[in-house]
Chain A
Amino acid sequence: MATALVDFDTVLATYDPALGLEVHVELNTATKMFCGCPAVFGGEPNSQVCPTCLGLPGAMPVVNGKAVESAIRIGLALNCSIAEWCRFARKNYFYPDMPKNFQTSQYDEPIAFDGWMDVDVDGETFRVEIERAHMEEDTGKSLHVGGATGRIHGADYSLVDYNRAGIPLIEIVTRPIVGAGEKAPLVARAYVQQLRDLILALGVSEARMDQGNLRADVNLSLSPKGSGVLGTRTETKNVNSFRSVERAVRFEMQRHAAVLDQGGSILQETRHWHEDTGRTTSGREKSDAEDYRYFPEPDLVPVAPSREWVEELRGTLPENPTTKRARLQGDWGFTDLEMRDVVAAGALLPIEQTVAAGAPPQAARKWWVAELARRANDAGVELAEVGVTPEQVAAVQALVDAGTINDKLARQVFDGLQAGEGTPGEIVAARGLAVVSDDGALGAAVDKAIEANPDVAQKIRDGKHAAAGALIGAVMKEMRGQADAGRVRELVLEKLA
């Protein structure tokens, strides 16, 4: 049943949105949460399993100390309090993605709680309150056989690979974010984006959304404007790109409004996000929390991080993101507007890495914000997945600075990099992109341009040097953009002196 959507501006005239985000971060530990199996992406099916993560009788879990350390560091970076004592809990459910018939998680005693993160949207700061960050384990992967391609609905049976079952996960849950109004979709996106930057800076996860290292569930509800009463929420699962987070919030706002406007009520349920159509569809109805029959995990002893350990870990935190943004803006000499565009494009980290690889900050900004962000957007991918690395951008800029290529040719080098044609130097050679500054070739083209444009040539002879631009343009066109523009100008002025 396709519900007609309400126009976004009309939604805002009648309703206030409330957002909530649950982000799962897969840690980059060497081993799983409760056993010594490797926690790496993409091995042969069921090749990274043992009696513990297969839930075989008698197998006993033991907590990965490194995962606890990462959980505490994430909690501290999100300004959370760290529990002095907390337990794991069993979340019981029947679903074959966990062979134990329960997921080991934390319930009412998360390792980290009561934090916040400041999120910048268009130069405005929103404080997102963090309710909790808790430790749990990832589930196995299912293939559904029979029925519609790959869907669980109508499948005859399923095939399960448990390599991923037991990989450490940290689930980070926000409190309801209210008051964002029209910016709600952007706040949701910026939160996930800045959380990813923070996770990367901590070095605790690869945080690649396309590989599922970082997965976002988007909760949304609408309340009648000004009422301050939270409405019934839906939870859209596994929204796996920044752009999709923004789109999913926008779509659910429009869909909720359509249902409510017609006097209907929102069903509290999970929904699936469809990247291709930009819509959500109904999933299963959400179970009440008590249906999971959580109880303390008897096979694991409580985690009680000493205050000395917590303070030691606090000392390992990277610079606070807000302070860091201000420092980088100063270091790089960007204006407020430039910095705002950088943050909006999610280009802070790539620019930082490009500058570290030797490029001037303004050049790094120009390529990432003006060129590569546009390409990523056109391709519908994240900036990190555009197919060009910070080191390559720095190498391209070095070629520009050396006069080997100009900006226009650099764009063709980026084409080549995206197509996987090799290093920037190899692409310049293979595609014949180097700028021509040899006087013989340039001189001939300049002579031709003068001959074709006698009026312009006369103006220059009369001392109007500004007219040289028309001839330089003609030469560049003749040489398909590969002429050294500075040398062409000199030649034009010499010949018409």
Chain B
Amino acid sequence: MPEITRDEVAHLATLARIDLDDAELDHLAPQLSVILESVASISGVAGDDVPPTSHALPLTNVFRDDVVVPGLTPEQALSGAPRAEQQRFAVPRILGDEQ
């Protein structure tokens, strides 16, 4: 039976840059466990002859020709950016103080 611990949820929250306090972790960790258990019930239905699937489409080898297709102009590309400078996307400081 899959179970996700409170520590695992805290770790995943850190990786996903989601700030969860203790009360939220206490609340969410058991809920996630229930969700995983519900999804896991599928493995009880699938027999050994059913391989795990990652894609809904029964397709392979969908390739594109190596031909240039017009894209966006720099102006279009940057039009949704909160900040731009020197025709580049301006992003907040990457490394925090602890790094």
Contacts and interface: CB of A to CB of B under 8 A. Distances in A.
**Chain B interface, DSSP helix/strand/loop, else mixed:** loop
A87 B64 CA distance: 16
Contact of A303 (B61, B65, B74): B61
A296 B54 contact: yes
B8 to A, nearest CB: 11
B60 A48 contact: no
Contacts of A152: 94-95
A380 interface: no
A31 B72 contact: no
B55 A302 contact: yes
Interface stretch (A155-163, A246-254, A271-279, A320-328): A155-163
Contact of B63 (A68, A143, A159): A68
Contacts of B66: 29-31, 64-67
Interface in A91-148: 92, 94-96, 99, 142-145
Contacts, number: 130
A63 interface: yes
Contacts of B67: 30-31, 36
B99 interface: yes
Contact of A35 (B71, B86, B88): B71
Contact of B64 (A38, A62, A145, A304): A62
A109 B55 CA distance: 15
Nearest to A33: B64
Contacts of A56: 80
Given A45-B74, A46-B77, A301-B59, A158 B15 contact: no
Contact of B86 (A38, A159, A303): A159
B87 interface: yes
A162 B89 contact: yes
Given A159-B86, A159-B90, A50 B63 contact: no
A158 B94 contact: yes
Interface residues of B, number: 36
A487 B44 CA distance: 96
Given A293-B15, A298-B54, A301-B57, A35 B89 contact: no
B86 A157 contact: no
- Specify the main secondary structure of chain A where it touches its partner: loop
Contacts of A303: 60-61
B62 interface: yes
A197 to B, nearest CB: 24
B91 to A, nearest CB: 4
A311 interface: no
Nearest to B65: A65
Contacts of A36: 64, 67-69, 71
A143 B15 contact: no
B87 A44 contact: yes
A488 B93 CA distance: 72
Contacts of A199: none
18 contacts: A36-B71, A37-B71, A45-B74, A46-B74, A46-B78, A47-B73, A49-B74, A50-B71, A62-B62, A64-B66, A67-B66, A152-B94, A153-B95, A156-B93, A160-B88, A284-B99, A296-B54, A301-B55
Interface of A: 29-31, 35-38, 44-51, 53-54, 56, 62-68, 85, 87, 92, 94-96, 99, 142-145, 152-153, 155-162, 284, 291, 293, 296, 298, 300-305
Given A47-B74, A144-B94, 15 more contacts: A29-B66, A30-B66, A31-B67, A36-B64, A37-B71, A48-B71, A50-B71, A54-B77, A64-B64, A66-B66, A155-B94, A157-B92, A160-B89, A298-B55, A301-B57
